Amino acid sequence: MPRHHEDEFEMKTAFAIGALSVLVFIAAPAQPYLWRNVVIGGGGFVTGLLAHPGARGLLYARTDVGGAYRWDAASRKWVPLTDWVRGIDFTGIESFAVDPSDTNRIYLAAGIYRQTRAAILRSTDRGQTWQVTQVPFKMGGNELGRFNGERLAVDPEDGKILFFGSRHDGLWKSADYGATWFRVDAFPQPTAKAPSSDADADGWRGRFNFPPQEVGIVFVQFAPRDGRDGIPTLTIYAGVSTTSTNLFRSDDGGLHWSPVPGQPLGLRPNHAVLSPDGTIYLTYGKQAGPNTMTDGKVWKFNPQNNLWTDITPLKSPDGDQPFGYGAISVDAENPPAIVVTTFARWHPHDDIFRSTNGGASWMPLLQNAVWDYSFAPYTRNRTPHWMGSVQIDPFDSNHVWFTTGYGVWESKDLTDADAGKPTHWDFCDNGLEETVPLALISPPAGAHLLSGLGDIDGFRHDDLDASPAGGTFAGPHFGNTEDLAFAAQNPAIIVRTGLGGNGSAHGAISRDGGTHWSAFPGEPPDSRGGGTIAVSADGKTIVWTLRGDAPQYSDDGGANWSACAGLSPGLRVVADPMNPLRFYGFNSRDDKIFASTNGAESFSETGAAVALENDPPGYGFGTGGLAATPGREGDLWLAMRDGGLFHSADGGVNFTKLRNVEIADAIGFGRAADGTDFPALYLSGKVGGVAGTFRSTDAGASWMRINDDAHQFGAITRLTGDPRIFGRVYLATSGRGVIYGDPAK
C-alpha cells in the first residue's frame, strides 16, 4: 500500500526562539503583550465534545472555524489549544480523538475546507505542544456534516493505531501515533454506484459513490473487548453518509470490510456510540446537516445476534418527521441510560431525550428545563439549536453537556429527570469565544469598543471582561452586523449595516454612542442589505455601499438616498476624519483612488493609479483597502495584501510604498505614543520576513512585532487601536472572537 509522510514539523505554544527571530529582522525590539478575549460568551458552532474515559474532568471541544479547546475543571474555563495557528487552514477541526489508554494524548484532524491544507495534529501533553503532519486527504471542518462523527479514532488496545474516515479520499490508517498515514484500499471507495437494497449488499464486493454532499466516512468505532493491552482491536465499525448501505465492519483489524447485515437504509447515519455492553446506538437523518435535517431515526444494533431495533423517541403521526436526530451518549456508569438530541427541530424547539432502559422508553428533558443566562445575557433570546454533540460525564451520571450553534450548555442534575423533576442548565462557555467579528470600531468617547459579528448581530462593550448585560444591540436586530462607522468629530453618532435577523431593516443609526439604535427611515431602492458604510466627520452625511450595488449617500439621516456619481458597484467608501465634505474610495479592480469634496455627491479619480499599477490587488484574509488617519485631513493608508502598504498625505493624489512591509492584511490606528503626534499604527501582515501583528509609533518608518508565535489567532481580518489607551489593540479574528492586547507590565 502507498505510504504518505509529508515533511513533519513541530508546533509549540511557547516560542522563545520565534520571539528572538523578530529581533533579527525588525529594528525595534519586540514588546511583550498580554492577550485576552473580549468576553461575549460563545457565538459559534461547537461541533463536538469529547470526554476522556480515563481522567475525571478532562474534556475537549472542537469548533467549525475556531479551533479546539480543553476544559480546565479547576478554573471552570476553556483553554484554547490552537491559537498558534496562523491563517484559516487548520482552524476548522474536522474531528478529534483521545487515546483511552493515555490521558495525555490528544489528536486533531484539522482542515477547514476541501480547498485548504489538512493535517493531523498530535499532542502528548493535553494540547500544550503539538506536532503536525500535513496529509493528502482533504477535510471540511466548516462544511456539511461537520458535527458528524467521530471520524478519527484511536485503538483502545494499541494506542499506536489510528483510523481516519475522510470525506473524499476513503479510509486511512496510521500505525505510529499519527505520524504517517496510508490508505486502507480494502474499504469501499467512492468510485462506483452504491447498492440500493440489502439484497444487493449481502453479496456486494463493489465500490460506491459518495453522495453529492461528499460528507464521506463520518465515524470510526473500535468495538470494546476484554483483551490484552498492546494487541490491536480486531472488530472495527465505520459509517458512511449515504442513504444506501452505510455501515461496515471489519473483524481483522481493518484488512477486510463488509456491510453489516440487516442495517436500515434510506437515511444517512451521523453519529454512533458503542455501549460498554456491546450495543451500538446510531442516529440518522435524511440530510447530513447542519443546515437542514429531516426524517430522523435512532436505531440500536446488537452484534451478538445481528438484531436491529428502531428506538426513535419521537415520531410524527404520519411518519413524516420535519427534523432529524444528531448526537447520542451512553452513561458509562449505567449503560442502559442514554441521551439523544433532535436536530433541526425548529418548531417548537430542539430537545434532548433520555432513556434509562436502552431506548425502550424516553422522556424529554428541555420542556421544563431551568436555564441560567447570567454568563452571556444574549443567550436569553436564543433557543438551543444545532445540538451537534452531547456527552454524559463518564465519571458522573448526573453531569451532562450538549453543544449548540452558539456554545455549550451543562447540567449537573440529569438524573433528577427520572423522578419528574426539571433539569437545570448553565451556559458553560467561559473562555470558549468562537465568533467571527465582521466590524470593529473604537470611538474616542463612550464605550471603548463596538463589534459587529456574524450570526449574532453585535455588541456595545462597556466592560471588555464581561458579556454585555443588555445583550446584543438595542434596536433593529441583524443576523450579521457587517460594518460600523462613527462620526470622527461627533462620535456619539454611529451607523451600521446588517443582514438577516428580524424585520426588513438593513441599516441603523445611533445618536448615543451605540446604546440605542433606530432603523434608517429609508433605504436605497431594491436594497439587498449588508455591505459597507461610512459617515462624515460631523455625522450629517452617510455613504452606504450595499452588497453588489454602487455607493449611495444620504444627507437627511438615512431617509432618502442618491447614487454617488463616479463610483462603480461594490466600492467601499471612507470618510475624512476632519473635513465633513471629503470622502475617499479605492477600486481594487483597477487600482484607482477616488475622492469627493462635495459631501459624496460625486467622486473623481485622484490620478494615483500609476503608483500602484504593478501591485496585485488581492487582500487575502484581511479587509485591507483604504483607511483614513484620525485627526489628519487627507492622510490615507492603503493596505494591499500582496502589494504591501502605501501612504498618502495629500488626499490620495500621491502614494508612497513602505518598503519594510511585505504583506498588509489589515491596518488600524490608536492613541499616539507619548511625545509623538502621529497616531500609533497597527498592522496584521508581514514585516521583514516575519508574519504577525505589529505596531509603529513613527508613521510606519519602523515596526515592532507585538504578538508571538503562540498568539497568531488564525487569520486577523481587521484591527483597530484604542484612541484613548496607548498600546491597546483590538483584533477581529476568523473564528476566535475579538481579541484585545495590552503591553505587558
- As annotated, the active-site residues are 64, 455
Q: C-alpha grid cell for residue 372?
A: 441560567
C-alpha 647/C-alpha 221 separation (Å) is: 57
C-alpha 16/C-alpha 276 separation (Å) is: 45
- Asked if 49 contacts 393 with a C-beta cutoff of 8 angstroms, the reply is no
Kindly tell me the sign of the dihedral angle through the C-alpha atoms of 516, 379, 463, 574. Answer: negative
Q: C-alpha grid cell for residue 76?
A: 471552570
- Asked if 270 contacts 259 with a C-beta cutoff of 8 angstroms, the reply is no
Helix-strand-coil percent breakdown of the chain, rounded to 5?
A: 5, 40, 60
- Catalogue the E-assigned strands of 194-255: 217-222, 236-240, 247-250
C-alpha 392/C-alpha 284 separation (Å) is: 20
What is the DSSP code (8-state) at residue 353?
E
**Reduced 3-state DSSP string for 305-331:** CCEEEECCCCCCCCCCCCCEEEEEEEC
Q: C-alpha grid cell for residue 591?
A: 487600482
C-alpha 381/C-alpha 379 separation (Å) is: 5
- Asked if 155 contacts 162 with a C-beta cutoff of 8 angstroms, the reply is yes
- Give the SS3 label for residue 16: helix
C-alpha 607/C-alpha 625 separation (Å) is: 17
Count of C-beta atoms within a 10 Å radius of residue 24 = 9
C-alpha 583/C-alpha 700 separation (Å) is: 23
Buried residues in 211-239 as b, exposed as e (16+ CB within 10 A): bebbbbbbbbbbbbeeeeeeebbbbbbbb
C-alpha 255/C-alpha 391 separation (Å) is: 31
**Reduced 3-state DSSP string for 626-647:** EEECCCCCCCEEEEECCCEEEE
Q: Which residues pair with 355 in a beta bridge?
A: 338
C-alpha 273/C-alpha 330 separation (Å) is: 7
Q: C-alpha grid cell for residue 705?
A: 512585532
Using CA atoms, how far residue 120 sits from 1, 162, 642, in Å, is: 20, 11, 29
Cis omega (within 30 of 0) for bond into 10: no
C-alpha 676/C-alpha 706 separation (Å) is: 19
- Give the closest residue to 603 by CA, choosing from 618, 611, 593: 593
Cis omega (within 30 of 0) for bond into 348: yes
Q: C-alpha grid cell for residue 629?
A: 488617519
* Number of residues assigned to the chain: 745
C-alpha 649/C-alpha 669 separation (Å) is: 15
Q: In what order do the strands lie in the sheet with 93-99?
A: 8-12, 129-134, 119-123, 102-110, 93-99
Half-sphere exposure at residue 45, Cβ-oriented, CA atoms within 13 angstroms? 24
C-alpha 422/C-alpha 425 separation (Å) is: 10
C-alpha 23/C-alpha 178 separation (Å) is: 35
Buried residues in 75-104 as b, exposed as e (16+ CB within 10 A): eeebbbbbbbbbbbbbbbbbbbbbbbbeee
